[in-house]
Amino acid sequence: MDESTAAGGTERGERGSPRYQERLYLAWWAWPVPLVLGTSLAVTIHLGYPGLRAWLPYVLVLGIVTAALVLLSRTKVAVRPTESGAVLQVADATLPVRYISGVDVIDRAHKRKALGPELDPAAHLVHRGWVGPVLRVHLDDPNDPTPYWLFSTRRPRRLAELLRAAAQPGTHAGDPLQTGPA
């Protein structure tokens, strides 16, 4: 298994399958605290309402906590080739790569500034605190008021290189996202 697969990033070449994909899983060390707090809440409910079935607070509270933790781990970052050109997908939003005008890699040390004083309120933001670096993708779409996308990724340099190569005009014949004849 290579380094990219272990970190959640993949590269494939079939049309329609992702050229780059990673899932921003919640780290394993973030699970015990919410589960212990959920168990504590379930014990409190169980002791406070002895008429309830003994198992009911545990199932409900721990089920809700587990569902919340799984939902936090659902965020996906992908670059996919399509018939009309490559698209960047972050969570549930998609962006055609042809509208990308620039890509900035922001490391962990500068992330606070990028998410604070430098953040444009109109920007599309998908931030996961447990993922260190973020990527800022500048848009060049006159019909979209969003100036840029700012999102977390574990492999920012590799994704930035792929997006820069795919967004360059005139590279469709050698487009890194094209898999068939141009």
Average pLDDT over residues 31-46: 94
How far apart are alpha carbons 152 and 154 in whole angstroms? 7
120 half-sphere exposure, CB direction, 13 A CA radius: 13
Mean pLDDT over each residue of the chain, to the nearest integer: 83
- Helix ranges (H only) for 49-100 are 56-72
Average pLDDT over residues 14-25: 75
Kindly state the percentage of the chain with pLDDT values over 70: 82
Confidence band, pLDDT 50/70/90 cuts, at residue 50 = confident
Q: How does pLDDT run across 113-164, given as a tens digit for each residue?
A: 999 999 999 999 999 988 989 999 999 988 889 999 999 999 999 999 999 8
Q: What are the residues whose beta carbons fall under 8 Å from the beta carbon of 24, sequence distance 6 or more?
A: 8, 73, 75, 76, 77, 128, 130, 131, 152, 153, 154
Angle at the Cα of 116 from the Cα atoms of 114 and 121, rounded to 5 degrees: 90
User: Above 90 in pLDDT, residue 52?
Assistant: no
How far apart are alpha carbons 117 and 35 in whole angstroms? 34
Instruction: Check residue 82 and give its pLDDT.
Output: 86
Instruction: Check residue 172 and give its pLDDT.
Output: 46
Closest CA to 85 of 163, 9, 31: 163
Instruction: Check residue 89 and give its pLDDT.
Output: 93
Instruction: Check residue 170 and give its pLDDT.
Output: 53
User: Above 50 in pLDDT, residue 103?
Assistant: yes
